[in-house]
Amino acid sequence: MQSCEISGDSTDDPLSSGLRRTRQPRIVVIGAGLAGLSATKTLLENGFTDVTILEATDRIGGRVQSVNLGHATFELGATWIHGSHGNPVYHLAEDNGLLEETTDGERSVGRISLYSKNGVAYHLTNNGQRIPKDVVEEFSDLYNEVESCESSSHSMDEVSLSEFGEWTEIPGAHHIIPCGFIKIVEILARSIPESVTQLRKPVKCIHWNQSVSKEIERVADHNSDSTEEDKGCNVFVECEDCEFIPADHVIVTVSLGVLKKHHKSMFHPRLPEEKVMAIEKLGISTTDKIFLEFEEPFWSPECNSIQFVWEDEAESESLTYPEELWYKKICSFDVLYPPERYGHVLSGWICGEEALIMEKYDDETVAETCTEMLRKFTGNPNIPKPRRILRSSWGSNPRFRGSYSYTQVGSSGVDVEKLAKPLPYTESSKTTPMQVMFSGEATHRKYYSTTHGALLSGQREAAHLIEMYQDLLTCRN
């Protein structure tokens, strides 16, 4: 059996720093989502030992968040494995037996209707009338193709039509993981020692290209873990708790929403204009879920979805509903199936600015509003309020500021590649390449917005470092 390690004795060091020959390169990964975990796992498996993950929140997983209520697992974040043929997330799930309990309703080869069994979707108007099936079929295929929740945009007018085909769909069925998508996170984290990951460790600024000030050097020197070798590092990661962590390479996996909000203060020196333009051009919005649990179902056994159709509203000409009418952006409630697993639960979707408005209200208000809406559309005034509500709030969460990215009008796949491009752009014998690297779903040109895109982007950046240090990798029996 062979294992690989990085040798400190090589005379063929491709880098200029003499210190690099006497120690492992220090790699800091910012974010413990799928991108950060996959990058770290790949690095550790290939012989890197000085790797640290800094995670701002109190948990790993990023935009994967599974919540257990009773016997059921509900996904506040990533839900579907999109495609199976060559999808690394699917293969992780399949190889680890995570799909064995998946029902037919949790496996779909066409448009995915969340958790629903093969049943009937009820398209209801705000006047309590059901739209005939033949009328629905005329517009449903087109509607499903352009539904804005699928793109996590406020409206489809914000999505670049010319770049809409840039996103690539992996062939094969879509799958839900009954025991929770968080199991994929746990599989990735399995081979990462606990000491590698620091939770509740938000980053304030990344000082790169040896831009660290004398004051920061002084503070860093007072760090009990600081050594003479730290002075050979090109990057210092400044954390919000005032700790400065030296690094040779930093892999940034924060969301596009966080970059949009903080890129000016998060990097010193500031990011090149080309990268700033890519961050500003690309889009990210909010898609939230609302789970409503009822004591008993008020829907018929064959109903798998309640679709809302507003008939008469003049406001429909506007792209944004008035704040008090935020609920009109809820496109549907799907029936979670089977009830033996989930209980009597409806799952609703809301996106864009109305999702941000929804996040401002408390659970009681949202539950009451959704109940009134269901009463209105079904024509049943006796529908009880749900016994429990569970919902996401990705837009207002300062550690995410959105759900997933999309190619906004004015942006293209080229901008995705610019976002992924490592810093510094120019290399010289005195400058270490790839000091600051970028991964995450928004950096994958073909698979942005997906979990497999995030995972592959982490592996991509790890592969760059493995290639960079390949002359220092020695294999032994």
List for the chain the helix, strand, coil content (%; round to 5).
Answer: 35, 20, 45
- pLDDT value at position 12? 41
**Are residues 345 and 293 both part of a single domain?**
yes
**Could you tell me if residue 412 is inside a domain?**
yes
pLDDT tens by residue, 303-330: 999 999 887 655 555 656 789 999 999 9
Does residue 369 register a pLDDT over 70? yes
**Could you tell me if residue 444 is inside a domain?**
yes
pLDDT tens by residue, 339-367: 999 999 999 999 999 999 999 999 999 99
- E strand or H helix at 137: helix 133-146
Last residue of one domain, picked from the residues 356, 391, 426: 391
- pLDDT value at position 476? 35
- pLDDT value at position 178? 93
Name the β-bridge partners of 284: 405
Question: Who wins on pLDDT, 464 or 138?
Answer: 464
**Are residues 191 and 238 both part of a single domain?**
yes
Q: How confident is the model at residue 84 (pLDDT cuts 50, 70, 90)?
A: very high
Mean pLDDT of 177-195: 97
CATH code for the domain in which residue 292 is found? 3.90.660.10
Q: Which stretch, 25-29, 229-233, 411-415, has highest mean pLDDT?
A: 25-29
**Are residues 192 and 247 both part of a single domain?**
yes
**Are residues 385 and 412 both part of a single domain?**
no
Among 51, 75, 61, CA closest to 31: 61
Q: What is the DSSP letter of 270?
A: P
Does residue 115 register a pLDDT over 70? no
**Could you tell me if residue 384 is inside a domain?**
yes
Rounded to the nearest 5°, which phi and psi values hold at 169? Answer: -90, 130
pLDDT tens by residue, 252-278: 999 999 999 999 999 999 999 999 999
Last residue of one domain, picked from the residues 391, 420, 437: 391
- The token duo for 458 is 């982490």
CATH code for the domain in which residue 441 is found? 3.50.50.60
- pLDDT value at position 106? 79
Determine what percent of the chain is predicted with pLDDT higher than 90: 63
**Are residues 437 and 291 both part of a single domain?**
no
**Could you tell me if residue 406 is inside a domain?**
yes
Number of separate domains in the chain: 2
Mean pLDDT of 391-407: 96
Beta-sheet strand order (sheet of 244-247): 244-247, 235-239, 203-207, 267-268
Cis peptide before 338 (omega within 30 of 0): yes
Mean residue pLDDT of the chain comes to 86
CA distance 235 to 447: 30
**Are residues 194 and 231 both part of a single domain?**
yes
CA distance 409 to 246: 39
**Are residues 142 and 114 both part of a single domain?**
yes
Question: Who wins on pLDDT, 60 or 141?
Answer: 60
3-state secondary structure of 6: strand
pTM for the predicted model, two decimal places: 0.88
Among 412, 405, 404, CA closest to 163: 412
**Are residues 279 and 407 both part of a single domain?**
yes
**Could you tell me if residue 94 is inside a domain?**
no
Does residue 49 register a pLDDT over 70? yes
**Could you tell me if residue 162 is inside a domain?**
no
- pLDDT value at position 39? 98
**Are residues 349 and 373 both part of a single domain?**
yes
Does residue 93 register a pLDDT over 60? yes
**Are residues 377 and 305 both part of a single domain?**
yes
State the residue range of the domain holding 136: 110-157+287-391
**Could you tell me if residue 96 is inside a domain?**
no
Which residues fall within 8 angstroms of residue 110, CB to CB, at 6 or more apart? none
Question: Who wins on pLDDT, 224 or 473?
Answer: 473
**Are residues 193 and 277 both part of a single domain?**
yes
**Could you tell me if residue 71 is inside a domain?**
no
CA distance 107 to 87: 15
Question: Who wins on pLDDT, 311 or 54?
Answer: 54
- pLDDT value at position 120? 79
Last residue of one domain, picked from the residues 328, 363, 391: 391
- The token duo for 226 is 């600081």
**Are residues 41 and 120 both part of a single domain?**
no
Question: Who wins on pLDDT, 330 or 5?
Answer: 330
C-alpha count within 13 angstroms, C-beta hemisphere, residue 223:
21
Mean pLDDT of 190-204: 97
Task: Write the Ramachandran bin of 31: left for phi over 0, alpha for psi from -120 to 50, otherwise beta.
Answer: left
- pLDDT value at position 146? 52
Does residue 114 register a pLDDT over 50? no
- pLDDT value at position 391? 98
C-alpha count within 13 angstroms, C-beta hemisphere, residue 225:
4
